[in-house]
Chains A and B, each alone.
Chain A
Amino acid sequence: MSADTDAASVGGPEDRTAGGVGLATSGASRPEPPGEGPRWRLGDRIGSVEVLAGLLILLVVFREPLAAALDTPRVQTWTTVFVSIMVQAVPFLIFGVLLSAVIAVFVPRSFWARALPRHPALAVPAASAAGVVLPGCECGSVPIAGSLIRRGVTPAAALAFLLAAPAVNPIVLTATAVAFPNNPEMVLARGLASLVVAMVMGWLWLRLGRTDWIRMPRRPELDDASRGRAFWGAVRHDVTHAGGFLVLGAMAAACINVLVPQRWLQTLADNAWLSILALALLAVLLSLCSEADAFVAASLSQFSLTSRLVFLVVGPMVDLKLIAMQAGVFGRRFALRFAPTTFAVALLVAAGVGAVLL
C-alpha cells in the first residue's frame, strides 16, 4: 500500500540529482539527454503536452485505486503535510517570482549601481538590511536573489540579501514575538544573529567565493525585445523551476515529519551541546516556513532557549527545500558549498549570540 508513495518519495531525490546535474554541469557529461521535448525518442509527434495529457487521463481513470492506496494513516498524514506545505508556500512563491520578474525585466541595471554602495564590502550590509523591508519567507527570496545577480548586483550582496530577508522582516519578527511572549529578547537575538550571519556569509563570499561556482541557467526569454513577453516568460520559468524544487523540498520535509519519532528529540534535549546540534539539524530537515518556525520553536520547550535560537537562525537560511531551490537557481556546485558553510556559520553565530543575550 505505502510502497507507491515511498517509491515516489525515494524517486524524488534521484530526479533532483539528475535535474541538478543537468543544470550545473554541461550536458556533455551525459551521453544521451533523456526525453527533453525536442529529442523525444518515441516519435516526433509526441511532445510534453501529449505526455501530460496522457498522464492526466491515466490519473483520472485510476483515481479510485490511487485514493485507496493513499488510505493508510501514515501515507495520509504524509500527503496532508506535503499538500499543506505547498498550499502555504504557493502565495509566497508567486509573489517572490513576480517581484523577481519585475527586477529582471523592468528595473534597469543602473538602478542597482546607484542603490547599493559601490564597494562590495559595503554593499553586503546594505543588502542585508534591505531584507527588513521584504515581508515574505524564504521561498520567494531565492528567485529574487537570482534576479539580482542577473542584473549585475555583486553576488556577495545578493547572497546576503537571500539569507537575511526571510529572517529579519517585520512579519517574521512579529511572529517570533508572539511565539515567545515571556522572552522578548528572543526577537532581538534572532534579528541580530540572522543579520550577522548574512553579513559574514557575504564577506566570506567576497574573500573565498568564486563566480564560476554559480552557474545560472541560460534565460534566453529575458533578452526578448518585448517586455511583456520577457516578463511572463520569466514568471512561467521561475514558477515551474523554483516550484518544482519546492515540491522536492516539501516531499522531503513531509517524510521527516512523518518518519522521525518525537521521542528521539526528548533524549537529545537533555544535553546542552547535543541539543544545539540537534535543533540545527532539525531546522534543516523540517524545512518550515520562516513565518511559522517560531511557533514550532516555542513548542519545543524541552530544549534550551539558545538551542531554539539556533533553530530559528538556521531554518530560514539552510533547509532541504532551500537547498533544492538554490541548486536549481544557482547550480549544484554552488549549493554544495554554500549550504554547509551557511549552516556552520549560522550555528556558531546563533550559539554565540544566544550565550550573550539569552
Chain B
Amino acid sequence: MNRQAQAVVLLLLGGAVLRASVTDLYLRYVKEGLRPFLIAAGLLLVVAAIMTLWYELRPARPDAPDPGDVPDPGVAAGHGPDGDDGPGHGHHEPRVGWLLILPVLGLLLVAPPALGSYAAEQTGTALSAPRQSDYPPLPDGDPAPVTVLDYAARALFDRGTSIGDRRVLLTGFIATGADNEPILARMVLSCCAADGRPVKLGLTGDVPAGLPNDSWVEVIGRYSDRIGRDPVNDAEIPYLEVESWRQVPVPTRQYD
C-alpha cells in the first residue's frame, strides 16, 4: 500500500468515524461520553490524510515527477544502505494497513445493529452481585419510569421493598429465556459493545405474545416475588408482573 492509498484509507476511516459520531450511529457501539473524542479523532485522521496527500503531491524531488508509486523506491534508494534491519526494508510500507478498510466498510456500508436478543441469549444476566446496599425511593409518577437494570437490582437485592406496590414502566427488547418463554432484556455497556452484558427480566401476567425477538416494548407492571434462573450462568432472574404492554420503536440509546 503506497502513501497515497494510505492517505485515502485514513480519509475514509476519519470520515466514517466522523459520520458515526455526528449522527447517532456511534451509540450502537460505544457510550455517549466518547463522542467528543471520536469527533476529535475523526478530524485528526482527516487532517493526517490531507497532510499526507499534500506532502505527496507537492513536487519534493526533481527526479520524482510522477507522484504515484515512485516515491517509495526513491526513498529506499536514498536511505536503504544505512538501514539497521537488513536489506529489503527500506521501501517497506505497511501492508497490514489494507485491513483498515474493514472498519470503514463496517461503519459506512454495513452499520451493524446494536447488540440484541442473540447476544442476550448467549450471555448470562449481568446482575449477579449487589452493587449498593440501600435504594432511594422510585421516581415520581404513576407508573414510575425505571430502567431494567434498576428494577432488576431492586427486585433481587432489595427484594422489592423500595418498589412496594407501585406501578413501574420499563423499556426493553424481547428475547427468549428458559423454556422458550419471552423475557424482557436490556444490554448494559461499561465501555463498548464488546463488553455488553444483558440484564434479563422474566415476565408473568399479561406476557407480550406474538412478538419476534428484538422487538422493543414498553411494559407497565408491578413487582413480582418470583425468581427464575438464567440457564447460561445460573444467576437469579427477577420477574415482573406485567399489567399492560405496547410495542415501541427502537430507541436511540439502546444500552442502559
Interface of A toward B, CB cutoff 8 Å? 8, 12, 15-16, 18-19, 22-23, 26-28, 33, 36-38, 40, 47-49, 51-52, 55-56, 59-60, 63, 66-67, 70, 73-74, 76-77, 79-88, 90-91, 93-95, 98, 175, 179, 181-182, 215-218, 220-221, 223, 228-229, 232-233, 235-237, 239-241, 243-245, 247-248, 250-251, 253-254, 257-258, 261-263, 265-266, 286, 288-289, 291-296, 298-299, 301-302, 328
Contact = CB atoms under 8 A, between A and B. Distances in A.
B30 interface: yes
Nearest to A257: B194
Contact of B97 (A73, A95, A232, A241): A241
Interface of B: 1-10, 12-13, 17, 20, 26, 28-30, 34, 37-38, 40-41, 44-45, 48-49, 51-52, 55, 68-70, 72-73, 75-76, 78-80, 83-103, 105-107, 109-110, 112-119, 122-124, 126, 128-132, 190-195, 197, 232-234
A90 B17 contact: yes
Contact of B95 (A36, A88, A228): A36
Nearest to A244: B96
Given A94-B41, A95-B41, A298 B129 contact: yes
9 contacts: A38-B70, A49-B5, A70-B112, A80-B114, A87-B192, A244-B95, A247-B96, A251-B102, A302-B234
B109 to A, nearest CB: 5
A301 B129 contact: yes
Contacts of A83: 29, 103, 106-107, 110, 112, 193
A94 B48 CA distance: 10
Contacts of A263: 232-233
B1 A48 contact: yes
Contacts of A49: 2, 4-5, 8, 68
Contacts of A215: 85
B87 A40 contact: no
Contacts of A87: 17, 20, 26, 29-30, 34, 38, 103, 107, 192
Given A48-B69, A91-B41, A248-B96, A296 B84 contact: no
Given A74-B118, A232-B48, A241-B94, A181 B132 contact: yes
Nearest to B95: A19
Interface of A is mostly: helix
Nearest to B98: A244
Contacts of B102: 8, 82, 247, 251
Contacts of B30: 84, 87-88
B85 A217 contact: yes
A94 B88 CA distance: 29
Given A218-B83, A240-B94, A262 B232 contact: yes
A76 to B, nearest CB: 6
Nearest to A44: B69
A288 B131 contact: no
A300 to B, nearest CB: 9
B52 A244 contact: no
A72 B179 CA distance: 23
Contacts of B113: 76, 80
Given A36-B93, A83-B29, A237-B94, A27 B103 contact: no
A176 B179 CA distance: 36
B52 A236 contact: yes
